[in-house]
Protein backbone atom coordinates (compact mmCIF):
# COMPACT_ATOMS: atom_id res chain seq x y z
CA UNK A 1 0.00 0.00 0.00
CA UNK A 2 2.84 2.35 0.91
CA UNK A 3 4.62 1.65 -2.39
CA UNK A 4 1.43 2.38 -4.28
CA UNK A 5 1.05 5.71 -2.45
CA UNK A 6 4.63 6.70 -3.29
CA UNK A 7 4.04 5.81 -6.94
CA UNK A 8 0.86 7.87 -7.09
CA UNK A 9 2.58 10.86 -5.51
CA UNK A 10 5.46 10.58 -7.98
CA UNK A 11 3.05 10.60 -10.88
CA UNK A 12 1.11 13.55 -9.49
CA UNK A 13 4.18 15.63 -8.62
CA UNK A 14 7.05 14.79 -10.98
CA UNK A 15 10.47 15.61 -9.62
CA UNK A 16 12.23 18.64 -11.02
CA UNK A 17 14.60 17.70 -13.78
CA UNK A 18 17.60 19.30 -15.42
CA UNK A 19 17.19 17.29 -18.59
CA UNK A 20 18.48 18.90 -21.75
CA UNK A 21 16.08 20.66 -24.11
CA UNK A 22 14.74 18.21 -26.72
CA UNK A 23 16.83 19.71 -29.53
CA UNK A 24 19.59 22.16 -30.31
CA UNK A 25 18.74 25.84 -29.75
CA UNK A 26 20.41 28.35 -32.05
CA UNK A 27 20.46 32.00 -31.00
CA UNK A 28 20.85 34.06 -34.16
CA UNK A 29 20.78 37.69 -35.27
CA UNK A 30 17.45 38.83 -36.70
CA UNK A 31 18.96 39.31 -40.16
CA UNK A 32 19.45 35.52 -40.35
CA UNK A 33 15.74 34.79 -39.85
CA UNK A 34 15.06 33.66 -43.41
CA UNK A 35 18.31 31.91 -44.31
CA UNK A 36 19.23 29.79 -41.27
CA UNK A 37 16.11 27.56 -41.39
CA UNK A 38 16.96 26.92 -45.06
CA UNK A 39 20.46 25.81 -44.11
CA UNK A 40 19.14 23.55 -41.35
CA UNK A 41 15.43 23.28 -40.41
CA UNK A 42 16.08 21.01 -37.40
CA UNK A 43 17.18 23.37 -34.58
CA UNK A 44 14.94 25.52 -32.41
CA UNK A 45 15.76 29.10 -33.45
CA UNK A 46 15.67 32.26 -31.37
CA UNK A 47 16.10 35.37 -33.52
CA UNK A 48 16.73 38.72 -31.86
CA UNK A 49 19.26 41.51 -31.53
CA UNK A 50 22.78 40.21 -30.94
CA UNK A 51 23.07 42.14 -27.67
CA UNK A 52 19.92 40.49 -26.29
CA UNK A 53 21.11 37.03 -27.32
CA UNK A 54 24.50 37.57 -25.68
CA UNK A 55 22.78 38.65 -22.47
CA UNK A 56 20.68 35.47 -22.48
CA UNK A 57 23.83 33.36 -22.74
CA UNK A 58 25.42 35.32 -19.90
CA UNK A 59 22.32 34.51 -17.85
CA UNK A 60 22.78 30.80 -18.65
CA UNK A 61 19.60 30.46 -20.69
CA UNK A 62 19.73 27.29 -22.82
CA UNK A 63 21.47 27.73 -26.16
CA UNK A 64 23.90 25.67 -28.16
CA UNK A 65 25.05 28.12 -30.82
CA UNK A 66 25.29 31.90 -31.11
CA UNK A 67 25.40 33.59 -34.52
CA UNK A 68 25.81 37.37 -34.32
CA UNK A 69 25.88 40.20 -36.86
CA UNK A 70 29.05 41.60 -35.31
CA UNK A 71 32.22 40.20 -33.71
CA UNK A 72 31.59 42.34 -30.63
CA UNK A 73 29.39 39.97 -28.64
CA UNK A 74 30.85 36.57 -29.63
CA UNK A 75 34.35 37.87 -28.85
CA UNK A 76 33.16 39.26 -25.51
CA UNK A 77 31.55 35.94 -24.56
CA UNK A 78 34.71 34.12 -25.66
CA UNK A 79 36.82 36.27 -23.33
CA UNK A 80 34.36 35.46 -20.55
CA UNK A 81 34.80 31.73 -21.22
CA UNK A 82 31.15 31.25 -22.22
CA UNK A 83 31.60 30.22 -25.86
CA UNK A 84 34.20 28.40 -27.92
CA UNK A 85 36.36 30.39 -30.33
CA UNK A 86 34.11 32.34 -32.73
CA UNK A 87 34.38 31.84 -36.50
CA UNK A 88 33.58 34.40 -39.20
CA UNK A 89 31.00 32.92 -41.58
CA UNK A 90 29.54 35.81 -43.62
CA UNK A 91 29.57 39.52 -44.30
CA UNK A 92 26.90 42.08 -45.14
CA UNK A 93 26.61 45.66 -46.30
CA UNK A 94 24.57 48.53 -44.88
CA UNK A 95 22.03 50.25 -47.14
CA UNK A 96 19.29 52.83 -46.72
CA UNK A 97 15.73 51.74 -47.52
CA UNK A 98 12.68 53.88 -48.19
CA UNK A 99 8.99 52.97 -48.66
CA UNK A 100 8.09 52.06 -52.23
CA UNK A 101 6.10 55.29 -52.68
CA UNK A 102 9.01 57.27 -51.18
CA UNK A 103 6.83 60.19 -49.97
CA UNK A 104 9.82 62.07 -48.54
CA UNK A 105 11.60 62.02 -51.92
CA UNK A 106 14.80 60.42 -50.62
CA UNK A 107 17.14 59.56 -53.50
CA UNK A 108 20.46 60.09 -51.73
CA UNK A 109 21.63 59.49 -48.19
CA UNK A 110 22.15 63.26 -47.98
CA UNK A 111 18.38 63.74 -48.39
CA UNK A 112 18.05 62.55 -44.79
CA UNK A 113 18.84 66.13 -43.75
CA UNK A 114 15.59 67.40 -45.31
CA UNK A 115 13.20 68.88 -42.71
CA UNK A 116 10.61 66.47 -41.37
CA UNK A 117 12.23 63.24 -42.60
CA UNK A 118 11.27 60.35 -40.29
CA UNK A 119 14.38 58.18 -39.98
CA UNK A 120 14.44 54.95 -37.94
CA UNK A 121 17.69 53.28 -36.94
CA UNK A 122 18.87 50.40 -34.80
CA UNK A 123 19.73 51.02 -31.18
CA UNK A 124 23.50 51.63 -30.83
CA UNK A 125 23.72 48.49 -28.66
CA UNK A 126 22.75 46.25 -31.60
CA UNK A 127 25.09 45.73 -34.56
CA UNK A 128 22.95 47.52 -37.17
CA UNK A 129 22.79 50.53 -34.86
CA UNK A 130 26.56 50.55 -34.38
CA UNK A 131 27.15 50.19 -38.13
CA UNK A 132 24.68 53.01 -38.79
CA UNK A 133 26.54 55.33 -36.44
CA UNK A 134 29.79 54.45 -38.20
CA UNK A 135 28.27 55.21 -41.61
CA UNK A 136 26.79 58.54 -40.50
CA UNK A 137 30.13 59.57 -38.98
CA UNK A 138 31.94 58.73 -42.23
CA UNK A 139 29.35 60.73 -44.18
CA UNK A 140 29.59 63.59 -41.66
CA UNK A 141 25.82 63.62 -41.45
CA UNK A 142 23.99 64.91 -38.39
CA UNK A 143 20.47 63.50 -38.28
CA UNK A 144 17.91 62.96 -35.55
CA UNK A 145 16.13 59.57 -35.78
CA UNK A 146 12.52 59.36 -34.65
CA UNK A 147 13.11 55.94 -33.06
CA UNK A 148 15.79 53.44 -32.12
CA UNK A 149 14.79 49.82 -32.73
CA UNK A 150 16.00 46.73 -30.85
CA UNK A 151 16.76 44.73 -34.00
CA UNK A 152 17.06 45.27 -37.74
CA UNK A 153 13.76 43.56 -38.61
CA UNK A 154 11.88 46.25 -36.69
CA UNK A 155 13.58 48.91 -38.81
CA UNK A 156 12.61 47.00 -41.97
CA UNK A 157 8.99 46.62 -40.83
CA UNK A 158 8.50 50.32 -40.04
CA UNK A 159 9.83 51.41 -43.43
CA UNK A 160 7.99 48.70 -45.40
CA UNK A 161 4.71 49.67 -43.68
CA UNK A 162 5.27 53.36 -44.41
CA UNK A 163 5.58 54.27 -40.75
CA UNK A 164 8.99 55.83 -41.46
CA UNK A 165 10.56 57.62 -44.42
CA UNK A 166 13.86 55.76 -44.27
CA UNK A 167 15.93 53.30 -42.26
CA UNK A 168 19.38 51.74 -42.30
CA UNK A 169 19.37 47.95 -42.72
CA UNK A 170 21.51 45.18 -44.22
CA UNK A 171 21.46 44.33 -47.93
CA UNK A 172 20.15 40.86 -47.07
CA UNK A 173 17.08 42.42 -45.42
CA UNK A 174 15.87 43.84 -48.72
CA UNK A 175 15.00 40.57 -50.47
CA UNK A 176 12.17 39.53 -48.06
CA UNK A 177 10.42 42.90 -48.64
CA UNK A 178 11.11 43.34 -52.35
CA UNK A 179 8.37 45.41 -53.95
CA UNK A 180 7.63 47.16 -50.67
CA UNK A 181 10.83 49.22 -50.35
CA UNK A 182 13.35 51.04 -52.47
CA UNK A 183 17.10 50.93 -51.86
CA UNK A 184 19.52 53.84 -51.64
CA UNK A 185 23.15 52.78 -51.73
CA UNK A 186 25.72 54.45 -49.53
CA UNK A 187 28.99 55.77 -50.99
CA UNK A 188 31.50 52.91 -50.89
CA UNK A 189 33.90 54.82 -48.65
CA UNK A 190 31.17 55.28 -46.02
CA UNK A 191 29.58 51.84 -46.18
CA UNK A 192 30.77 49.66 -43.29
CA UNK A 193 31.14 45.93 -43.79
CA UNK A 194 29.18 43.90 -41.27
CA UNK A 195 31.06 40.80 -40.14
CA UNK A 196 29.10 37.81 -38.84
CA UNK A 197 30.56 35.37 -36.31
CA UNK A 198 29.29 32.03 -35.05
CA UNK A 199 30.30 30.22 -31.85
CA UNK A 200 29.35 27.11 -29.91
CA UNK A 201 28.16 27.78 -26.38
CA UNK A 202 30.31 26.03 -23.79
CA UNK A 203 28.52 23.49 -21.65
CA UNK A 204 25.72 22.89 -24.15
CA UNK A 205 24.07 19.49 -23.75
CA UNK A 206 23.88 19.26 -27.55
CA UNK A 207 27.54 19.75 -28.41
CA UNK A 208 27.64 17.25 -31.27
CA UNK A 209 24.54 18.82 -32.84
CA UNK A 210 26.07 22.29 -32.37
CA UNK A 211 29.26 21.23 -34.16
CA UNK A 212 27.22 19.71 -36.99
CA UNK A 213 25.18 22.91 -37.34
CA UNK A 214 28.26 25.12 -37.53
CA UNK A 215 29.71 22.80 -40.17
CA UNK A 216 26.53 23.09 -42.25
CA UNK A 217 26.79 26.88 -42.14
CA UNK A 218 30.45 26.81 -43.19
CA UNK A 219 30.17 24.21 -45.94
CA UNK A 220 29.62 25.01 -49.61
CA UNK A 221 25.82 24.60 -49.46
CA UNK A 222 25.57 26.89 -46.44
CA UNK A 223 27.75 29.53 -48.11
CA UNK A 224 25.67 29.24 -51.29
CA UNK A 225 22.39 29.76 -49.42
CA UNK A 226 23.86 32.74 -47.58
CA UNK A 227 24.94 34.23 -50.91
CA UNK A 228 21.47 33.68 -52.39
CA UNK A 229 19.99 35.47 -49.37
CA UNK A 230 22.14 38.54 -50.03
CA UNK A 231 25.06 37.95 -47.67
CA UNK A 232 28.62 38.56 -48.77
CA UNK A 233 31.61 36.23 -48.60
CA UNK A 234 34.10 36.04 -45.77
CA UNK A 235 36.84 38.59 -46.37
CA UNK A 236 40.21 36.92 -45.93
CA UNK A 237 43.19 39.08 -44.91
CA UNK A 238 45.74 39.54 -47.67
pLDDT in tens, the chain (238 residues): 555 444 444 444 444 444 555 789 999 999 999 999 999 999 999 999 999 999 999 998 889 999 999 999 999 999 999 999 999 999 999 999 999 999 999 999 999 999 999 999 999 999 999 999 999 999 999 999 999 999 999 999 999 999 999 999 999 999 999 999 999 999 988 989 999 999 999 989 999 999 999 999 999 999 999 999 999 988 665 4
Q: Under a CB-based contact definition with an 8 Å cutoff, are residues 76 and 70 in contact?
A: no
What is residue 27's three-state secondary structure? strand
Domains of the chain: which residue ranges? Answer: 22-90+194-228, 93-190
Class of domain 93-190 as given by CATH: alpha beta
| Calpha distance 194→173 (Å, rounded) | 13
Pick the CATH number of 22-90+194-228 from 3.40.190.10, 3.30.70.260, 3.30.365.10, 3.40.1170.10: 3.40.190.10
pTM here is 0.86
Count other Cβ atoms within 10 Å, centred on residue 33.
19
DSSP 59: T
Radius of gyration of the chain (CA): 21
The gap between the terminal CA atoms of the chain, to the nearest Å, is: 77
Amino acid sequence: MRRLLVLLLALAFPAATTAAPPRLTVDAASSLTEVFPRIDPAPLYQFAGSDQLALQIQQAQPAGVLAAASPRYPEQLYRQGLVEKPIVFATNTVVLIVPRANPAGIHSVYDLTKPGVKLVVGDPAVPIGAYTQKALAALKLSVKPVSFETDVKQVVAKVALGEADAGFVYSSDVKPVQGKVGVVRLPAAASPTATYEIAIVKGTKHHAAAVAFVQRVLRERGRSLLHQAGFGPVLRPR
